[in-house]
Amino acid sequence: MDFLKRLENEVGYTIYSRGKDYYNRGKAGNFKLYGVEEEYYGEGVRNLEGSVKGSNYLNYKTEVIFSKDEVLDFNCSCMYFRENVKPCKHIVAVAMAAYNLVLKKESIEKAKPDIHLDFLKNPMGEKKNLIFLKITPKIENIRGYIDFKLDIEIVTKDKNYKLTNKLSKFLKAYGLTSFDFGKSYQYNPATDYFQGWEKKFLDFLKEYEGILEKSYYGELNISTILSNKFSFDRLMDILVEGNQIILKEKSLKEILEIDVKNSGSDIELAFKNISSFIQRGERTLLYLDNGTPIFYRVSSEDIEVYKKIRQKTSRSETMVISENNLPVVINSIQKMAKLELSESIKKKVYTPKKIEDKIYIDSYNTYGLKVYTKRFYDGIYEGDLDGTIILSNALEGYSLYKDVLKDYQNNFENNAYHITNVESIYKFVVEGIPELERYYEIYYSEEFKNKSYTTASYRVETKVTDILEISFNIDGIDKDEVLRFLTAVREKKKYYLLKNGGIIDISDTSELDDLNDLLDIAEVSKKEIEAGVISRAKNYSYFLSSTLKKIKNIVLDSEFEVMDRNLKSISSKEEELAIKKSFPMLRDYQLYGVQWLNTLKKLGLGGILADDMGLGKTLQTIAYLALEKRELPSIVIAPKSLVYNWKSEFEKFAPNVTVKMCVGVKWEREETIKSLKSGEVLITTYGVLKNDLDLYGMIPFKEGFANIVIDEAQNIKNILGKTSNAIKEIKGETKIALTGTPIENNILELWSIFDFAFPGYLGKHTTFKKRYLDNLKSLKSVVGPFILRRTKSEVLKELPDKIEQDVIVELSEKQRKLYLGYLEKYKREVEANGSDAIKILSCLTRLRQLCNHPKLFIEDYKGESAKLDALLELLQEAKSGGHRVLLFSQFTEMLSIIKEHLKDEFNILYLDGKTKIEERLNLVERFNGGEGDIFVISLKAGGSGLNLTGADTVIHFDPWWNPSVENQATDRAHRMGQKNVVNVFRLITKGTIEEKINLIKDEKSKVISEVLDGEKRELLKMNRDELLKLF
């Protein structure tokens, strides 16, 4: 990679291109070449210093240290380099000089320190004749056209020789071959040399030789270079260096003269010397003074003014204006020229000592602003000085005023700036006006002062008495504008336009969004928004708690804080001891659950107990109801298959509580409802309650129930369902929902349950869905305090490794009639046949089949099976909770019926006595590997010998009469390798042989075992009364 390519890669294309342009335009010069010490940079490294003229016409001292391959180090005095310490365009320009003037001239001897680059000699040291140049600038006026030329001469010790007409030919020979100047002198590059400015001059011409154009006579000359502004400026710099010309830095006003005098009723402006000027280069003016050119360098702004004047005076050096325009013209041209005023005009001119601008701001239409200025001279308004010519240079005030206003979109009309863009108006008020106030007095109209230009701020206060009252106020917003303002915030507009024309900045809506959230969640009405007050039930405080706490500008009532603490403070030590005394069997998490329910009751709230399947939701609720001392009854609503299970659990854990079943015929149910007493518990089903809605108006308590408990609360998940609506019509103080799966399919199911437990808490279901469907984190914070859910993994340390539970099922009406009919029939047969063991066993089996499903031996049975319905309830809860189930039955025909009912909703694996050994092992591996929701197993075929630890729930559809056999089946899941607590459920039909045997199986296990073992001799040892007890 060569020197220049490395340089471009180092500095980047942009800096490289600009630096190259500077070098080509001759902005780099005054070079000095030095050697450097080898110990620092190595052999062959040199340092080139130079001066580079910047775009602001300042000269920057620049140096590069370089080898034959690359630039090694650099420095520059420009601001860019000092701030960024990166190569600048000036460094690139000097680096290109190093390459072109040093590295490409391999014959030049390495420079010694402090020796000027132009004194470098070739290795042979042959040059000894120093040749000089003489440049004479000329300005010629040819038929009114002024032209600038250079007369160039070569000066030897003997004579001067004209070079101007031979320039083209000489440049071709320069530095390469000899060139004759007549007979007496021959230029020889081997012995003759130039130095200093002369060498720079010729080197520059040589470099630009390719751009010289042919003259009219076919010869190359210097005119083309002089007509190019960049090359002209470079040549002028070289000639100034060689003292061939004098270049004066002046302003246009210092060199241009204008006479101002009366011409009849008008005014004549005479530009005295304008025709004697010509422009060359970027900023150079040449002035012909009696044939002698004078060179002036002026500013770029002055050059533009000069061009305009030349345009207007191209035909005549005088200009006539109306006397009315004289003040404006005078103040305009006094900055660009020396004015010579006639005596009559001088009398009309006033030069003030103090000039002051004042700014006036007024409303324009409704929202816009009108901004204008008035100028005062020595305290006198300029409008009161008509006919007086104000001679002043103090126009900066106007300039600053315009500079500030140009940043704000406006329209200038009728000597005023009109700002109508809303964003520009607001920014001008909050940013532009403070900037102008630093320099001007500003006067505001009353209409403008009455407007508000600010950011939005608000304040919220809460007051809790018998109701929750939330008041809010938005600063600067009238009540009738609040709704429109909040809509603008919600629509993410940047500004809100007040009715009086003021503007509120709402671009940062972070705090306003919190207020809008509050109003949305509380579902406030238009009337409430306009009033600035929201009134809700006291308990609504809990719903709004998390939302209110997010609001920064809020004052919370002390009572609100107390309520919040009460919700978090579950129970006292005394209450805990009282619960433990009455219900010592409660585990710690169950004790907490009872305390949580008590807290909700005290606070007048409802809630959802959503513990995992098998953790004792029923027991916790019974303990809560049993301990409550209220003057009202309570009601438990459960699926049909579970109502008697509730009754059984009350009898087991709270026998002192009077429980009434509301499940008979309607007149019986009516009597039951009418006869309810304080503290009693009514148990009914969802279906029955839906049909009995009219009866609940007859309850002898106008307040309704103390507690309404719904079990398997997912039964009311359909917000439009008749069951859901019926449940929500029952009057009650505390409403408790029990479910292991508060959400099965969508969040509206949770809304429906909350609509029962805490009506109105989550607002309208349409708003709820819109607000929380994609914002579950916020939903959790809102409902969290009112849902208590523990999973088995969370309370694992408190649990035994196996939890057993009997599920008591009431036979359906049709099923009960069949059962009672066959029971009487079998009693008669047993009595008639005496102690025939085979007959007894046959009768017992038929009765058990009737408990399971009458279809097991009555083929045309069309009714339902209560136990099958209860099974479906259990399985649905298990699946929703992520549990996997082993389902055992002694009857393979029953397993077939179960499979048929479950196939559409569950993934089932099946094993019975017909399953081959290889297939059995495959099924076990698949289930333990995670396949299937339920493993349906024949008790005899799979009750032993299988390892099924992939399940954590065991259901005995028809409990085995021998506990050891039943336990052996349970142990398919409850064995080594099981990491979870195992739930064991036995489905037992109420008032049947199953219930009786379950009650006596412990004390009579031997008897039952003998019966089922079919040993006739052992059965004969049982007395007749004991056998008949089984019927």
Residues 189 and 275 in one domain: no
- Structure confidence at residue 636 (pLDDT): 96
- Two tokens, residue 192: 């003759």
| 104 and 76 belong to one structural domain | yes
pLDDT of residue 437: 87
| Residue-wise DSSP of 547-613 | HHHH-SSEE--HHHHHHHHHHH----HHHHHHHHHH-TT--HHHHHHHHHHHHHHHTT--EEE-PPT
In this prediction, residue 1000 carries a pLDDT of 66
pLDDT tens readout for residues 669-685: 999 999 999 999 999 99
Is residue 572 a part of any domain in this protein?
A: no
* CA 889 from centre of chain: 57
- Residue 580: inside a domain: no
Question: Is 480 strand, coil or helix?
Answer: helix
- pTM for the predicted model, two decimal places: 0.55
Q: What percent of the residues of the chain are helix, what percent strand, and what percent coil, each to the nearest 5?
A: 45, 25, 35
Tell me if 165 sits within 8 A of 219, measured CB to CB: yes
Number of domains in the chain: 7
How many whole angstroms separate alpha carbon 482 and alpha carbon 488? 10
Identify whether 577 is part of a domain: no
pLDDT higher than threshold 50 for residue 1019: no
Q: Across the strands, what pairs with 180?
A: 186
Residue 576 belongs to some domain of the structure: no
Q: Which residues contact 316 (CB under 8 A, 6 or more apart)?
A: none
Nearest to 849 by CA among 859, 839, 837: 859
* CATH at 868: 3.40.50.300
Contact 718, 726 (CB under 8 A): no
Boundary (domain end) residue, out of 317, 347, 377? 347
* pLDDT band for position 835 (cuts 50, 70, 90): low
β 355-364/185-187 pair status: unpaired
When mean pLDDT is compared across 429-433, 813-817, 997-1001, 1015-1019, the lowest value belongs to 1015-1019
Q: Which two tokens stand for residue 909?
A: 């694996």
Structure tokens at 423: 């964003």
Q: Cα separation of 299 and 254, whole Å? A: 12
Same domain, 936 and 955: yes
pLDDT tens for residues 603-638?
A: 888 899 998 888 889 999 999 999 987 789 999 999
Same domain, 935 and 826: yes
CA–CA dist 504, 458 (Å, integer): 12
Split at pLDDT 50, 70, 90, the class of 978 is low
Q: Region 939-952: what's the mean pLDDT? A: 75
pLDDT of residue 184: 81
Angle in degrees, CA 133, 134, 135, rounded to 5:
120
Q: Do 887 and 749 lie in a common domain?
A: no
Residue 571 lies in a domain: no
Do residues 68 and 152 both lie within one domain? no
Q: Which of 57, 89, 119 is the last residue of a domain?
A: 119
Give the bridge partners for 802, in sequence order: 982
Phi-psi region of 889 (alpha: psi -120 to 50; beta: other; left: phi over 0): beta
| pLDDT at res. 288 | 78
- What is the pLDDT at residue 903? 86
AA letter at 183 = K
pLDDT per residue over 542-594, tens digit each?
777 777 777 777 888 777 777 777 766 666 677 888 888 889 999 888 999 99
Average pLDDT over residues 471-481: 80
Task: Give 145's strand partners.
Answer: 142
∠ CA 669-675-678 to the nearest 5 degrees?
Answer: 125
Q: State which amino acid sits at residue 153.
A: E
Q: What pLDDT is recorded for position 397? A: 47
Do 820 and 906 belong together in one domain?
yes
Query: How much is the pLDDT for 569?
Result: 66
- 480 and 442: one domain? no
Q: Is residue 575 part of a domain?
A: no
Asked if the model's pLDDT at residue 383 lies above 90, the reply is no
Q: Which of 273, 252, 244 is nearest to 133 (CA)?
A: 244
Same domain, 475 and 327: no
Q: 981 and 922: one domain? A: yes
Do 960 and 890 belong to one domain? yes
| pLDDT tens sequence across 873-905 | 889 888 888 888 999 898 889 999 999 888 888
Structure tokens of 773? Answer: 């469907």
- Does position 745 have pLDDT exceeding 70, yes or no? no
Q: Which residues pair with 266 in a beta bridge?
A: 263, 322
List, in order, residues 6 or more apart from 466 with CB less than 8 Å away: 538
Q: Helical H runs in 26-88?
A: 38-41, 79-84
624/622 Cα distance (integer angstroms): 5
The phi-psi region of residue 463 (left if phi > 0; otherwise alpha if psi is between -120 and 50; otherwise beta) is: beta
Whether the pLDDT of residue 646 is over 70: the answer is yes
Report the range of poorest mean pLDDT among 9-13, 14-18, 771-775.
Answer: 771-775
Residues 6+ apart with CB under 8 A from 1020: 835, 837
Structural domain boundaries enclosing 388: 355-449
Share above pLDDT 90 across residues of the chain, in percent, rounded to a whole number: 12
Residues 846 and 974 in one domain: yes
Q: How far apart are CA 844 and CA 826, in angstroms?
A: 9
Between 35 and 744, where is the model more confident? 35
**What pLDDT score was predicted for residue 878?**
87
Does residue 113 carry a pLDDT above 50? no
Question: Does residue 816 form part of some domain?
Answer: yes
Domain boundary among 798, 824, 858: 798
Q: Is residue 426 part of a domain?
A: yes
Instruction: Please give the mean pLDDT across all residues of the chain.
Output: 81
Q: How far apart are the first and last CA of the chain?
A: 109
